Chain A
Amino acid sequence: MTEASALGGVLPLVLQGALVLSAVLTLAVGYRVITGPTTPDRVVALDVIGTNVVAIAALYAMIRGLGLFLDVALVLAIIGFISTVTVARYVTEGDIIE
């Protein structure tokens, strides 16, 4: 029982620390979005921000104990993929739907 309570203290601490770390990393990626020399640099950086936010949503789901936020993570992953493909097509072909 004491072991369980000790780990019960560690787990929220680790989750909150990972949440803060992911938020700081997402902020740091913003530097590449702003000063990326080319458009693909910015697209890559925005893709990474999307992936980081997926991780943040999963961490928040664990912190709150609510499985609802995993839906947020899944939908964000889908939208991030669609936006990446869309921008890549726009840059290459000039239009998205022909």
Chain B
Amino acid sequence: MAGAIATAPPGPLVSLLVVALVVVGSFFLTVGTIGLLRLPNVYNRLHATSKATTLGASGIALAAWAYFGPGGAGMKALVTVLFLFLTAPTGGHMISRAAQRMGVEFEEGVTWPGRVDETPEQPADGNEHD
């Protein structure tokens, strides 16, 4: 580690902010992982991971931004947040499209949006569209 100078620990206020952001990020990482393990379907698992896990990692990267300050290393943390927010929806969309083209089944009662020819749901108040 020659030449690598460790940043000094921050003051009390910044420490409080870092602790809060790390706790929020860990919470969302836990929620996303539980969703990945417990939900029944690829699409439902993507719903859990692509939002909650991204938010968790972004919270921890924001904590790093608060820790290292606005310039230099902290800027890299901010770029990581931006990159995660740009790429996670794109990756989730591509995986779900690939799963649908592979023929992974939807859950029972779920149809493609806008497709009404297979088992249409009865509207709640019967005679609206007659």
Contact = CB atoms under 8 A, between A and B. Distances in A.
Interface residues of A, number: 54
Contact of A67 (B29, B45, B72): B72
Interface in B88-111: 88, 90-91, 94-99, 101-102, 104
B53 A62 contact: no
B57 to A, nearest CB: 4
B37 A74 contact: no
Contacts of A80: 87, 91
Contact of B36 (A8, A32, A62, A88): A32
A62 B98 contact: no
B29 A22 contact: yes
A54 B16 CA distance: 22
Given A31-B37, A48-B49, 8 more contacts: A7-B15, A10-B15, A32-B36, A32-B37, A40-B102, A55-B57, A58-B61, A58-B80
Interface of A: 3-4, 7-8, 10-11, 14-15, 17-18, 21-22, 25, 28-29, 31-32, 38-41, 43-45, 47-48, 51-52, 54-55, 58-59, 61-62, 64-68, 70-71, 73-74, 77-78, 80-81, 84-85, 87-89, 91-92
Interface of B: 1, 4, 6-12, 15-16, 18-19, 22-23, 25-26, 29-30, 32-33, 36-37, 42, 45-46, 49, 53-54, 56-57, 60-61, 63-64, 67-68, 72-74, 76-77, 79-80, 83-84, 87-88, 90-91, 94-99, 101-102, 104
